[in-house]
Amino acid sequence: MKRIFLVCLFMLSFFFHLCGQTVVENPKKPKNPKTGRILKLKEVMSITDKGRDDYFFKRPGHLRITADGSLYIKDKEQLLKFSPDGQFIMNLYQKGQGPGEITSHFLFALHHNDVFIWDFMDYHLIHYDSGGRIVEEHHFENAGNMRSVLSLYKDFILFVKPAYLTAEKIKITGKMFDADCEILIFSKSGESRKVLAALPEKRYNFRLKGTAAAGGGTATPLVATPNDDASKIYVSHSEEYMIKVLDVKQGKIVLSFTREYPRVENKFRKKINPRFQMPPLPKYQNDIRDIYFNEGFIWVLTSTQDKNGRYLYDVFDIDGRYLDCFYLQEEPLALVKGKYLFFVEEDADGNIRIVKYENIDPFLYIKGR
């Protein structure tokens, strides 16, 4: 048995060597001896919509920070800009079909202090400067629906595009199947485009028994986040713990890293309505829920929670070495920038607030410490 394992390990290493890719395997515990602690945070700012008539919070998310410290928050028919100290500045969302207007759903990315908004339905890109003035606007021919706008790489824009399902795959029921999700690079005018990577996700279809109702979903949605200059994209697209590093210039995966991880059972597995003709959910949750890049370190939101519902976060360096792990609060982290962490929270009355915390933990692996 040991001999078979060694042969398989050799073949796997040889395969990745041929592909020009390094695989880093980490142990269960990181280098920091203070692992598994609750990270010490201090609240330094909060933003609410109490008493406001110029914006409202319904489902705020996709928080991003510009180079000058301005905070952007996406919400229903809103793209809100706040100053570094939390003062409301403007709402960039304008509904319509004219110049600078958005038909409905939108995505956005930041580059330095500028904003790039992607109109999800009309396939056009609007470039705003820091003052909210339109710099340029381009319509993309036959772009298709995008799941996210990752970032700007030099004069190009990076997208994640969900898998296109063929008629044959739409008919599949009762089992999972693979469908490739694409990471693409476009010129800002949309005139040139290239697929950097096509990575498989686990998909499924369902039908409501006795009706014509049907739908589908993704069991292992691709998670991707770029580094600061968008030259590298950190990707997870499988159930088990594995992060791949896509080099944008080379257009290929150049590094993968993982760690020994105790998997978490899917507690919703047995609660599916039998009327839905769909495959059973996987036995385990996806090991990785989200990825964050923070000043030279990769933070990973895992599926592990403590008895109070706090999530476990892992920290790796850019070479894939496992450095640290700690627990944060029950709400998933919305944004991390240096020593500051942002969460979307609700108070006892159900009011939503955006809260900024300062990390005061003395043991965290972070740039400058």
Percent of the chain with pLDDT over 70: 91
What's the CA gap between 343 and 184, in Å, rounded?
A: 29
| Average pLDDT for the chain | 89
DSSP secondary structure letter of residue 26: E
Find the mean pLDDT for residues 162-185: 87
| Residue 6, pLDDT score | 40
Listing DSSP states for 47-92 in one string gives EE-TT-SS---SS-EEEEE-TT--EEEEETTEEEEE-TTS-EEEE-
Tokens, residue 147: 């799941």
| Residue 207, pLDDT score | 78
- The overall pTM is greater than 0.85: yes
Q: Tell me the pLDDT band of 141, cut-offs 50, 70 and 90.
A: confident
Find the mean pLDDT for residues 334-343: 96
Residue 116 near residue 108, CB atoms below 8 Å: yes
Q: Would you say residue 273 has pLDDT above 80? A: no
Q: Would you say residue 271 has pLDDT above 90? A: no
Three-state SS for 5?
Answer: helix
Residue 266 near residue 281, CB atoms below 8 Å: yes
Number of residues in the chain: 369
Give the pLDDT confidence of 57-109 residue by residue, as tens digits. Answer: 999 999 999 999 999 999 999 999 999 999 999 999 999 988 889 988 899 99
Find the mean pLDDT for residues 153-181: 88
Give the pLDDT confidence of 22-53 residue by residue, as tens digits. Answer: 899 999 999 998 999 999 999 999 999 999 99
Domains, the chain, with CATH or none: 2-359 (2.120.10.30)
| Residue 352, pLDDT score | 96
Residues 6+ apart with CB under 8 A from 274: 209
| Residue 59, pLDDT score | 94
Listing DSSP states for 111-162 in one string gives ETTEEEEEETTTTEEEEE-TTS-EEEEEEPTT----SEEEEEETTEEEEEEP
Give the pLDDT confidence of 216-258 residue by residue, as tens digits. Answer: 889 999 999 999 999 999 999 999 999 999 999 999 999 999 9
Sheet holding 335-337, edge to edge: 41-48, 352-359, 340-346, 335-337
Cβ burial of 273 (10 Å; 0-12, 13-18, 19+) is exposed
Q: Tell me the pLDDT band of 274, cut-offs 50, 70 and 90.
A: low
Q: Which long-range contacts (CB under 8 A, 24 or more apart) does 52-58 make?
A: 52/88, 54/88, 54/91, 55/80, 55/88, 55/91, 57/352, 57/353, 57/354, 58/352
**Closest-CA residue to 122 (of 136, 101, 108):** 101
